[in-house]
């Protein structure tokens, strides 16, 4: 590492969504910069105009802002090394490609489509890897001048040494060596004067003073060529940190179609952004101790690239669920209520229900907000259910004693005027005492009668309080009817 200030960058291509792996790259780049009091730069890599997606850059700004990964320089806020959008830097790439020709690291290539196609066919027939044969690198100065003068279209290709080995060090994957003979003289500048992706990336990393390049390991195989470019220009090579992929399982990728690949997918499922970010930090990185819950500031403190693992990270949804639950419990009841409200509205239309009471019940039981509607699906309408729901081994209930106890509870509840959680509690517990039965033998049947479900947020007393007297009595009567028919 050089003594200069650490400068990292997040260099997304605007795809229209923020893949979990990309957000992790952004996070690690942010953490590395901030843990060294350095700068975190945002650069938009939009050289591939064909893939342009409307509004895609806004998705990037929005995600970074929401997750708190605040960049110090970028297209929206400027900086000393701009512009920070590659489509606004076209003139720069051309200039540097020409400079590289002068330095001997690149050459003009005038081969037309037909020749390249012929070459491809020959190589295919000979069963050798497809690679440009370097024909134009052998043209004389005069031949090149003449072709340029007569306006023959050209590209600029990287001049890869014919032999030798290129070696580079990656902080995660170690030292990697590649035979130069396996590398192709790739195009750096296309015939329309626009750069290819790899070239623009290297020029920008250098011009923007990037000291540490953090990106996905899919770029490892391009890195030798990047290195040769840096060397040909005489530029300092940055520290490389390639991160392993994030996978659904050992063989399956996260999939956008299945809704488990992007930050937005998880927000839509009702995960908290803090939990998502915390979880993503742990995808392939470990703090070296057993801590798992981190604020962004704590991550800055703890982050060290030595903790990045080189094996693929498997996305563990159960762990994300657990973390999300932890973050939900850290919210105040009011904060929880505010975030839960839209989900209550999906399940409940009855205006008499006190939704704040639901928040009290759900705050400690919610794993993610999108689970909420299904937990409340019995409130507007009692679901159909069968007598077997009244069987509960541990509570020692069955349809017979449930019928008896519901029948005993009905008149007591009908008489109760002051319908509050407290009075319901007192009334039902004195009934339990009078009957000489176990608590659950009264409370379980009430819970089932009120909800038609086995699992509910809260027990019989809380549900009766929530539903109110009229609805509760109606449902208990229905339960009695159902058990009598049987
Ligand atoms: N633009 C690339 C991407 O979105 C990132 C390349 C890099 O970080 O070097 O995958």
Candidates 252, 258, 272, 469; CA nearest to 369 is: 272
Tens digit of each residue's pLDDT (9 = 90 or more) over 352-363: 999 999 999 999
pLDDT above 80: residue 48: no
Q: Residue 466's closest CA among 439, 446, 482, 483?
A: 446
Each residue of 452-481: b (16+ CB within 10 Å) or e?
A: bbeebbbbbbbbbbbbebebbbebbebbbe
With a 6 Å cutoff on the Cβ, whether 219 touches ligand 1 is yes
Contact 183, 224 (CB under 8 A): yes
**How would residue 1 be classed by pLDDT, with cut points 50, 70 and 90?**
very low
Ligand 1 centroid distance, CA of 21 (Å): 11
- Which pLDDT tens digit goes with each residue over 244-279? 999 998 888 888 888 888 999 999 999 999 999 999
Phi, psi angle pair for 162, to nearest 5°: -70, -35
Residues 6+ apart with CB under 8 A from 58: none
Q: Residue 55's pLDDT is what?
A: 87
Averaged pLDDT of the chain: 95
Q: With a 6 A CB cut-off, is 21 part of the ligand 1 pocket?
A: no
Is the CB of residue 46 less than 8 Å from the CB of residue 85? yes
- Residue 40: closest CA among 83, 5, 15, 4: 5
Model confidence at 400, in pLDDT bands (50, 70, 90)? very high
pLDDT at 3 over 80: no
CB atoms under 10 Å from CB of 405, counted, come to 23
Could you give the percent of the chain with pLDDT greater than 70? 98
CA distance 449 to 406: 9
Residue 205 CB less than 6 A away from ligand 1: no
Q: Which of 11-20, 292-301, 406-415 has the lowest mean pLDDT?
A: 11-20
The answer to whether the CB of 201 is under 6 A from ligand 1 is: yes
Mean pLDDT of 188-195: 94
56 ligand 1 Cβ < 6 A = no
Closest residue by CA, ligand 1 atom 6 = 11
Between CA 31 and CA 300 the distance in angstroms is 5
For residue 2, is pLDDT > 60? no
| pLDDT computed for residue 194 by the predictor | 92
Note the pLDDT of residue 259: 80
Question: Is a pLDDT exceeding 70 seen at residue 486?
Answer: no
> For residue 309, which phi and psi values (nearest 5 degrees)?
-95, 155
CB crowding 233-244: b at 16 or more within 10 Å, else e:
beeebbbbbbbb
Separation of CA 180 and ligand 1 centre (Å): 24
Does the structure show a pLDDT above 70 at 49? no
Distance from the CA of 291 to the center of ligand 1, in angstroms? 30
Number of CB atoms found within 10 A of residue 354's CB: 11
Q: Is the minimum distance from the CB of 12 to ligand 1 under 6 angstroms? A: yes
Q: Ligand 1 centroid vs 364 CA: distance in angstroms?
A: 40
Question: Mind telling me the catalytic residues?
Answer: 256
216 C-alpha vs ligand 1 centroid, how far in Å?
8
Domains of the chain, earliest start first = 91-189 (3.90.800.10), 334-372 (no CATH), 382-485 (1.10.10.350)
What are the tens digits of pLDDT across the range 100-119? 999 999 999 999 999 999 99
Against a cut of 0.85, is the pTM above it? yes
User: Residues 69-74: what's their mean pLDDT?
Assistant: 98
- pLDDT of amino acid 199: 97
- Ligand 1 centroid to 13 CA: how many Å? 6
Residue nearest to atom 8 of ligand 1 (CA): 215
Phi-psi label, residue 365: left if phi above 0, alpha if psi -120 to 50, beta otherwise:
alpha
Quote the pLDDT of residue 124: 94
Q: What is the pLDDT of residue 258?
A: 81
Q: Please state, in angstroms and rounded to a whole number, the distance separating the CA atoms of residues 383 and 98.
A: 74
281 in Cβ contact with 301 (< 8 Å): no
Burial bucket for residue 282 (CB in 10 Å: 0-12, 13-18, 19+)? buried
Q: Specify the 3-state DSSP secondary structure of 397.
A: strand
C-beta separation of 442 from 412 below 8 A: no
Q: Which of 219, 229, 230, 240 to mutate to test the pocket of ligand 1 (most atoms within 8 A of CB)?
A: 219
Q: Is the pLDDT of residue 54 over 80?
A: no
**pLDDT of 51 higher than 70:** no
**What are the beta bridge partners of residue 44?**
85
Q: Detail the DSSP E strand segments found in 180-238.
A: 187-189, 212-216
pLDDT for res 243: 96
CB atoms within 10 A of CB 277: 23
- If one residue of 10, 11, 206 were mutated to test the ligand 1 pocket, choosing by the most ligand atoms within 8 A of its CB, it would be 11
Give the CA angle between residues 83, 235, 196 to the nearest 5°: 55
Question: What are the DSSP E strand ranges found in 274-359?
Answer: 313-314
* Ligand 1 proximity of 265 Cβ (cutoff 6 Å): no
What is the four-CA torsion angle of 404, 406, 409, 410, rounded to 10 degrees? -120
- Cα separation of 104 and 102, whole Å? 5
**Closest C-alpha among 86, 58, 82 to residue 72:** 82
CA distance 167 to 165: 6
In this structure, the residue with its CA closest to atom 2 of ligand 1 is 12
pLDDT band at 25 (very low <50, low <70, confident <90, very high): very high
């Amino acid at each position: 590492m050089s003594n200069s200030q650490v400068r990292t960058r997040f260099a997304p291509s605007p795809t229209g969504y923020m893949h979990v792996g990309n957000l992790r790259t952004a996070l690690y780049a942010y953490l590395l910069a901030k843990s060294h009091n350095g700068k975190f730069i945002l650069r938009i890599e939009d050289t591939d105009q064909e893939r342009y997606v409307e509004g895609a850059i806004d998705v990037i700004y929005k995600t970074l802002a929401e997750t708190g990964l605040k960049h110090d320089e970028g297209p929206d806020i400027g900086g000393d090394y701009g512009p920070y959008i590659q489509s606004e830097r076209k003139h720069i790439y051309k200039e540097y490609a020409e400079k590289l020709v002068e330095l001997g690291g690149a050459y003009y290539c005038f081969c037309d489509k037909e020749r390249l196609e012929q070459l491809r066919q020959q190589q295919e027939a000979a069963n050798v890897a497809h690679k440009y044969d370097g024909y134009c690198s052998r043209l004389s100065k005069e031949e090149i001048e003449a072709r340029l003068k007569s306006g023959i279209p050209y590209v600029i290709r990287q001049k890869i040494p014919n032999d030798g080995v290129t070696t580079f060090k990656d902080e995660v994957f170690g030292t990697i060596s590649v035979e130069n003979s396996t590398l192709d003289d790739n195009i750096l500048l296309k015939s329309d004067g626009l750069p290819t992706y790899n070239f623009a990336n290297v020029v920008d990393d250098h011009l923007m003073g990037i000291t540490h390049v953090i990106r996905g390991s899919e770029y490892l195989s391009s890195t030798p060529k990047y290195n040769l470019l840096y060397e040909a220009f005489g530029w300092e090579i940055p520290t490389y940190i390639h991160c392993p992929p994030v996978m659904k399982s050992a063989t399956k990728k996260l999939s956008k179609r299945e809704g488990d690949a992007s930050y937005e997918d998880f927000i839509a499922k009702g995960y908290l952004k803090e939990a998502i970010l915390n979880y993503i930090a742990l995808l392939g990185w470990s703090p070296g101790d057993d801590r798992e819950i981190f604020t962004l500031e704590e991550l800055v403190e703890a982050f060290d690239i030595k903790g990045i693992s080189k094996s693929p990270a498997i996305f563990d949804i159960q762990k994300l669920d657990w973390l999300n639950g932890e973050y939900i419990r850290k919210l105040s009841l009011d904060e929880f209520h505010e975030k839960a409200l839209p989900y209550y509205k999906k399940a409940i239309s009855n205006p008499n229900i006190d939704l704040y009471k639901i928040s009290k019940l759900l705050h400690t039981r919610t794993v993610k907000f999108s689970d909420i509607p299904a937990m409340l699906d019995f409130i507007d309408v009692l679901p159909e259910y069968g007598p077997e729901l009244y069987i509960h081994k541990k509570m020692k209930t069955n349809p017979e004693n449930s019928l008896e106890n519901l029948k005993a509870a009905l008149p007591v509840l009908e008489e109760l005027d002051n319908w509050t959680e407290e009075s319901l509690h007192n009334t039902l517990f004195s009934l339990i005492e009078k009957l000489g039965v176990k608590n659950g033998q009264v409370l379980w049947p009430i819970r089932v009668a009120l909800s038609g479900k086995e699992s509910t947020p809260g027990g019989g007393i809380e549900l009766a309080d929530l539903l109110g007297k009229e609805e509760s009595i109606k449902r208990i009567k229905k339960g009695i009817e159902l058990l009598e028919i049987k």
